[in-house]
Structure formats: structure tokens, C-alpha cells
Amino acid sequence: MLLRHSSDMLTQEKPHLRDGKGTVTVEHILNPDELSGKGRLFAIHILPPGASIGLHPHDGEIEAYHFLAGKGRYWNNEEVFDVVAGDTTLVDDHNSHGVENTGDTPLKFIGLILFTGK
């Protein structure tokens, strides 16, 4: 059993995450060692206006984003999509993705990386 209050979450400031712009705040909902070897990330990401996570590949894993607040632009390989609160994206194994805050308020989303076993 685990109960973690929000004030106890590991929070990191990540400048130029994946060669992106600005600094991203990452609040770990669960730490990697708490994912039973099934994944490596379950966290809230907060991107201030103009910040981004650069386009990056996922090999041997998938990653879902569920957007909580704000608006942005999401890349999946060469495709580009506008995203808003309530949207969910999923990058497949052996594909790339990135995201940028295009609004004037923070873009906030949950990121979940799970291993595919491939």
C-alpha cells in the first residue's frame, strides 16, 4: 500500500528537456522503482508558455500523455496535432514524439511510459 501526498512527490526542474525550449517541471506521481518493472515514468509535466519537450524516440516502450490544462502542439513523427485539456496521445514503440505549449497559460499533462518487452 502506498499513500503519497502531493507535497511528498519528487519534483524536478528539467531545462531544455529532450533539447526542448525552456524549463519543464516534472512531478513524479510514482517513482520508477514503484512501477514493478513495467515502466519508467508516471508523472505530471508542467510546461510554461513557449516551453517544449523536444522530438525524441521511444524504443522498447510506449508513452501516453493525458492533457489536464492549457493548449499545445504535439508531434508524432512527422504529424502535428493541436491538443487541449481532456485530450490523450499515445506514441507507439519505435516512434518519436514531442510537445510544445502554444498557449499563454501552463500546459499540464500526465505522462506514463510503459515497457513493451520488445
| Count: domains in the chain | 1
Report if residue 84 sits inside a domain.
yes
Per-residue pLDDT, 117? 86
- Checking phi first, is residue 37 left (phi over 0); if not, alpha (psi -120 to 50) or beta? left
C-alpha span between 26 and 53 (Å, rounded): 12
Report if residue 62 sits inside a domain.
yes
Model confidence over 30-73: pLDDT tens digits? Answer: 999 999 999 999 999 999 999 999 999 999 999 999 999 999 99
Which position has the higher pLDDT, 99 or 117? 99
CATH number at residue 28: 2.60.120.10
Report if residue 42 sits inside a domain.
yes
Report if residue 4 sits inside a domain.
no
As a whole number, mean pLDDT of residues 7-20 equals 97
Per-residue pLDDT, 52? 98
Q: What angle do CA 35, 43, 100 make, to 5 degrees?
A: 140
Per-residue pLDDT, 118? 65
Q: pTM (2 decimals)?
A: 0.95
Cell numbers 516534472: residue: 26
Report if residue 3 sits inside a domain.
no
Report if residue 2 sits inside a domain.
no
Model confidence over 78-100: pLDDT tens digits? Answer: 999 999 999 999 999 999 999 99
Report if residue 59 sits inside a domain.
yes
Element (H, E) at 80: strand 79-84
> Could you give the dihedral angle defined by the CA atoms of residues 82, 84, 88 and 90, in that order, rounded to the nearest 10 degrees?
30
22 pLDDT above the threshold of 80? yes
Name the residue range of residue 78's domain.
9-115
- Average pLDDT across the chain, whole number: 97
Report if residue 1 sits inside a domain.
no
